[in-house]
Structure 1
Amino acid sequence: MSIDTFNEPVIDRADVLAAVRKRARWTIAVPLLILAYLTYTWFAFGVPDLLSRAQPDRALILATDSVAYKVHVTKLLRRDILEVAIEGERRATYGDEDLPEWVTVDGTNSVIDLGEGYIVDIAGKVMQFTVPDYGVIKVTATNSGVTTELPPGDVPDWVSDNPKKFDARPTLDRRVQVTRTKIEVHNYFGGWENFWFPFGSPVYGMSFGEVVAAVFSDVRIDPDQSNASLILHEFWENPDWQHGAVFIALLETIMMAVLGTLTAAAFGLPLAFLAARNFTPSMILRFSTRRLFDFLRGIDMLIWSLIFIRAFGLGPLTGALAIAFTDTGSLGKLFSEALENIDNKQVEGVRATGATQLQRYRYGVIPQILPVFVSQVLYYLESNTRSATVIGALGAGGIGLMLVETMKTSRDWENTSYIIILTIVVVIAMDQASGWLRRKLIQGK
């Protein structure tokens, strides 16, 4: 028998079984602990109550409103007049000579063809709604409310009938409402209404080809200005979509992000030298600078924004300052760590040439931290473009404030979708631009 045989460790079977049992207990205990934590948070955060109060039908309606618009056919019973308008707006009301083809008017009475067999007949104070596979619903407006006559059988879920108001929505894109003061019919259409030009504009209803032809035509639509100027003005000053105001708000948001990030980088880099161990021998100075970084980044950007709003009032400056303060702490910490990890041999090589201290920093230190500096600054610039939207919603201005204003109405959700899409496009553009700059500055491509 060889000597190695006597040196082999003796494996105790009991120890192996104990180790296996211990690992098995942890394997079972960890998932159980996670499950218990998730169960606790489920009830602690009130998720069951939140789900019970959820309104998926309303969410579906709002989602529909974000990609579609509706035309209102309204009969005002007290004044005995009939109006047909886009989204019920006074400035988007059709005249008697240009009514939609699906609306037939006889004085103040009308017949409305909602398609697929859905017909609404309004005569005086009586509304008859023909619904395929259900029958005819007759609703009469009275001095005290409404009286309803439904086909025999169970009342469908899409009918809401009470003595004060009748509401029927058999499909998502058709709706009828009757009260003692008015009869209203909603007909939905896909797309965004009046997106390019406002209702009643000289170029409203023109096709793309007609608009292009008008730009190069010598015949002026408005004698006081060229067709190109008119078309640009009608688009830019569109009162419904406010393209000009939206693009200016986007520019303010980008300016907030750029100014705040560059200010943070400009202050963070010099302060990083004071916080780096290999550049600042004074422990008191290093400790103070690092605590300053902790203080600046420890307070959230939103809190800084609220502080500056109280101090300086509303405006993009408050957003830029909030970004600058928070990111000075974050970038300063990152830059100081990068400085502590540089290769001193390169610095010593520059010193051997007789270079001054400033030259040693320029040629021995900066080239080593430049990739970290550029990549981090550009990353924070991308992130701050999104953050500037949230800060703007608190009152700092920009696109965030416009987004909150459109959401408060709970009506024009297509405007909300428009602003969200533009914000996403800007973030994507900033991401692509920062990637291009990173490749140019770091890789030289």
Structure 2
Amino acid sequence: MATDTMEPAVTHETVWRTVRRRARITVLVPIAILAYLTYTWFAFDVSALLAKSQPDRAVILATDSVAYKVQVEKNFRRGEFKVAIEGERTATYDNAELPDWVDLDGDTAFIDLGDGYSVEIDGKTALFAIPGYGVIKGTATDKGVDTVLPNGPAPDWVKVDPRKLNVRPTLDRRLQVTKTKIEVHNYFGGWENFWFPFRSPLYGMSFSQLYALALSSDRMDPETSNLWFIVDEFLSNPDWQHGDVFVALFETIMMAVLGTLTAALFGLPLAFLAARNFTSSTFLRFGTRRLFDFLRGIDMLIWSLIFIRAFGLGPLTGALAIAFTDTGSLGKLFSEALENIDNKQVEGVRATGASQIQRYRFGVIPQILPVFVSQVLYYLESNTRSATVIGALGAGGIGLLLVETMKTSRDWENTSYIIILTIVVVILMDQTSSWLRRKLIEGK
């Protein structure tokens, strides 16, 4: 005899209760999120941070990272003009080889900034002609700067001060007048002197000219080949320090590789001690697991600071910080993988009369190898980025060079260069690890 299953009747009150419960959740969740965001707004004092922000300065730094300036300066103390890239003494033009937009004549100068913008310097007076606005006159005096503006309100890009006149109508044109000097800045896109220094005999050569020079038998330096001379001029560029940057990148990669491999080599044996199906001693398992918690519970940056105090600055401290942190993380992951293996494979190997080491080798390792390889390669990718941050604290590598270029506001193109190289290295590490993963796990 079949028994009928009785389903509870759906009443109007049941439906209404469900609707009200869901309506409360729908209303309360957005209110809770809004309350949390409101709390964080006041707790972090976001209003004060926004008030202190300098978006105009951020735009200038962003422009400086992809452009460079040629600076025309008249120094009243020395009584001379100087035309230089980024104002550098080592990148100063000879007066006989000035840019075509600069015309010097004794104590006067005419600078054509393009699109109708021009600056005329006569003695201690600078006249800045600006299309659609007029001419701004700034005269240096013993007490500061006397400024004369066209009629009407002064625009935001004119900063008038008794001690300094600063005019920047566009991002790529600028005039500064103080009581000691007049400066005109003209910006151009690109990175200045990237391939070779300004005074190098290779400066301004095209790639075809460099290729022909490398194959030529007429040596630039009698003691070395032209190819090596080109490479050496590039690597020893004092402005961009390509050689030092590449060495720092190599240190960063080695820091990540050494730290990750050390963590994997120590984490795997310790994982057997932490796995329930391999270690019967509760005390030993508990102690090993707490060791993993201790190692990974302290952040990598904290380990780096500890080792810097213990061993001093250098890549070794970064590698040790990575090794300590990842030993805890990889050990925990490996132990969980060991606890999830199929014991039938281990028993099958045992039935052949294999020793315990052989059972681990042929019954356990093949099962956890995909997890082992995947996790180690993933941590290697991640540690390449982490090594940059650790290096910034003093462990060396590319991170230290990155911090040095960010200390001043005039080296942001070098900062961009280092950031781009770091991203390229991370991409290459990702592609390499993907290739190794396919070769080792999939056999492709």
TM-score by shorter chain over 0.5: yes
In 2 relative to 1, CA 194–7 (structure 1 residues): closer, same or farther, beyond 3 Å? closer
Once superposed, what is the RMSD of the aligned Cα atoms? 1.3
Query: 2:21 and 2:224 mapped to 1: Cα distance?
Result: 86
In 2 relative to 1, CA 7–229 (structure 1 residues): closer, same or farther, beyond 3 Å? closer
In 2 relative to 1, CA 8–390 (structure 1 residues): closer, same or farther, beyond 3 Å? closer
- Alignment partner, residue 339 of structure 1: 338
Farther-moved stretch of structure 1 (219-228 vs 242-251): 219-228
Counterparts in 2 of 1:424-443, with a 5 A limit?
424-443=423-442
Counterpart code for 2:21 = K
Counterpart code for 1:161 = V
Question: Can you list the C-alpha shifts for 1:209-249, whole angstroms capped at 9, x where unaligned?
Answer: 11111111122223333211211111010000000000000
Query: 1:118 and 1:12 mapped to 2: Cα distance?
Result: 81
- Alignment partner, residue 218 of structure 1: 217
Quote the sequence identity (%): 75
Query: 2:79 and 2:263 mapped to 1: Cα distance?
Result: 64
Query: 1:69 and 1:378 mapped to 2: Cα distance?
Result: 40
Paired positions, count: 444
Matched position secondary structure for 1:204: coil
- 1:26 deviates by 1.5
Counterpart code for 2:50 = L
In 2 relative to 1, CA 415–7 (structure 1 residues): closer, same or farther, beyond 3 Å? closer
Query: 1:200 and 1:189 mapped to 2: Cα distance?
Result: 20
In 2 relative to 1, CA 190–340 (structure 1 residues): closer, same or farther, beyond 3 Å? same
- Alignment partner, residue 194 of structure 2: 195
- Alignment partner, residue 49 of structure 1: 48
- 1:4 deviates by 7.0
Query: 2:92 and 2:373 mapped to 1: Cα distance?
Result: 55
- Alignment partner, residue 391 of structure 2: 392
- Alignment partner, residue 359 of structure 1: 358
Query: 1:340 and 1:45 mapped to 2: Cα distance?
Result: 44
- 1:5 deviates by 7.5
Farther-moved stretch of structure 1 (59-68 vs 28-37): 28-37
Counterpart code for 1:245 = D
Matched position secondary structure for 1:405: helix
Farther-moved stretch of structure 1 (383-392 vs 224-233): 224-233
Counterparts in 2 of 1:252-291, with a 5 A limit?
252-291=251-290
Matched position secondary structure for 1:14: helix
Do the aligned partners of 1:290 and 1:333 also contact (CA within 8 Å) in 2? yes
Farther-moved stretch of structure 1 (272-281 vs 6-15): 6-15
Counterpart code for 1:246 = V
Matched position secondary structure for 2:111: strand
Counterpart code for 1:136 = V
- Alignment partner, residue 147 of structure 2: 148
Counterpart code for 1:88 = G
- 1:8 deviates by 4.6
Query: 2:190 and 2:316 mapped to 1: Cα distance?
Result: 37
Do the aligned partners of 1:276 and 1:339 also contact (CA within 8 Å) in 2? yes
Do the aligned partners of 1:82 and 1:109 also contact (CA within 8 Å) in 2? no
- 1:16 deviates by 3.1
Counterparts in 2 of 1:6-25, with a 5 A limit?
7-25=6-24
Query: 1:6 and 1:152 mapped to 2: Cα distance?
Result: 93
- Alignment partner, residue 415 of structure 1: 414
Counterpart code for 1:233 = D
- 1:78 deviates by 1.6
Farther-moved stretch of structure 1 (272-281 vs 24-33): 24-33
Counterpart code for 1:410 = S
- Alignment partner, residue 30 of structure 1: 29
Query: 2:126 and 2:338 mapped to 1: Cα distance?
Result: 78
- 1:23 deviates by 2.1
Matched position secondary structure for 1:160: strand
